[in-house]
Chains A and B, each alone.
Chain A
């Protein structure tokens, strides 16, 4: 169920502007990788290129290779829709579909592609996904209620349930806790720890404690100045990054001296 991602020589452009330069990184299957770095260093942009979600932004384009277990996402004839159904994404702000019930939100990926599914299978999938997102016990009695009626943390876990319901190989999370309170954040972090048994998880975060708590490996991105492209500075085990970083700028960042 889980696949690795290998990125080589990746450049991301917005129009003519080079936003992220020359990234080479290998993300192991069944691991949690955290992307940290100051604002505007391109870590979110880079994350979006891992499932071609950057194509939603007008003018954004990519050079280089991203291999999902050896298959290049950017090869000719690859449909971004296929890519996204294998690499799911959770966004900064919880965004359940307001017109759908909790149950329909979980089934959204299946239903929106109008795949037929017997009701018992659908029920099983809803329960499995919601259990997988640690939300089942809280919502099992009100599955037909609108998803937007949940609290922020519950909504975000609903979005995670929705992402895992399409059984992706990789889950990308773009600052999933930045709009949540500390208790909800804790619930999501616990969930991430469980998710890595089945999925490859990549998480962008501004919170270094969070990166230290949840990730196996950490990548530090930095930017030399405004107008310059963002770069991957260092990628290593999380303990190494936080305790014994190889680069001076990494050490400055994780010790809170800038950023």
Chain B
């Protein structure tokens, strides 16, 4: 006899489960209790948030342990840990960006910051700025010029070498032993500490041009050592995903291998290659350590990468913090350092965004 089953009022499937509103209830309770606890010892918002989160997690796990059993409780405990760790990881990012914004905006807004160098800005000028309230003079123009020129030269060196190496690895080597050696060494190069790359360039030019040779070009060579492996890696990945069918189609039309590579393979992969190069630039433009030992410190504008010391944004930040222009009144230097840091972050973020944009603009169009 067939009977129709009506829906049970209290489903067997939800037996032994906490009602759906439980987490909200626990959250409200956690917020109230932690506020009460903190008001006893002295209230602050940060402590309130942390304590509430901890109490919320504990309440969730405990209630699950009582009603739903050990397995569910373990699951909730793990979830709390993972989410908590993520929130903890966000703290420094928020803090870094907040600190840089708060400290950097006034300096960046100061007139002439982007258009003047530190030439002629002495400790006396800074002292006057603090004591008499005259505007903080001096800017990053020379450092900006230096950063752009050094990075540009590093790119000019790295991109052809990196791209051609990637082409060799993907198109010509056919996995021979030499290509394995190169791949291995590129891996090794990826791990070179940036300061060691700087030392290499310094030692290299010290040997061929005499000790103490510090120019923008030496710095560019140091940055290239860091940049080449990144370019090789990203270009290699991009060339690998170009379908073989396209190469075969070109060969079957009687097209030479090098023309196939230049006119079919690279255009197909160009979006990925270009965004990889942009990311590599974003990485090296913020490098400080190699520049400290290769480019020297300059306070005035130097447009020639082959002669004379050159400043750059990262070393500008570093020197303004470590050796303020006026040792007795560091505030103007600190202000300039933060403004330069903000400018540097903006540059890096723009490059990152640019990489995404480049990838989208150059991507092969599918029509439809």
Contacts and interface: CB of A to CB of B under 8 A. Distances in A.
Interface SS of chain B: helix
Contact of B366 (A91, A97, A111, A148): A148
B248 A85 contact: no
B254 A148 contact: no
B268 interface: yes
Interface in B170-190: 174
Contacts of A83: 254
Contact of A84 (B245, B247, B251, B367): B251
A120 to B, nearest CB: 22
A148 B368 CA distance: 9
Interface string A178-209: 00000000000000000000000000000000
B174 A89 contact: no
Contact of A93 (B245, B254, B365, B368): B245
Interface string B228-254: 000000000000000101111111111
Contact of A148 (B252, B253, B259, B364): B364
A97 B251 contact: no
A166 B174 CA distance: 29
Contact of B252 (A51, A58, A96, A114): A51
Interface residues of B, number: 26
A112 to B, nearest CB: 4
A19 interface: no
Interface in B86-137: none
Given A53-B251, A81-B254, A88-B252, A98 B260 contact: no
A97 B246 contact: yes
Interface in A65-114: 80-86, 88-89, 91, 93, 95-99, 108-109, 111-114
A56 B251 contact: yes
Given A95-B248, A148-B365, 7 more contacts: A56-B248, A83-B254, A84-B253, A112-B250, A112-B255, A146-B366, A162-B253
Interface of A: 51, 53, 56, 58, 80-86, 88-89, 91, 93, 95-99, 108-109, 111-114, 145-150, 159, 162-163, 166
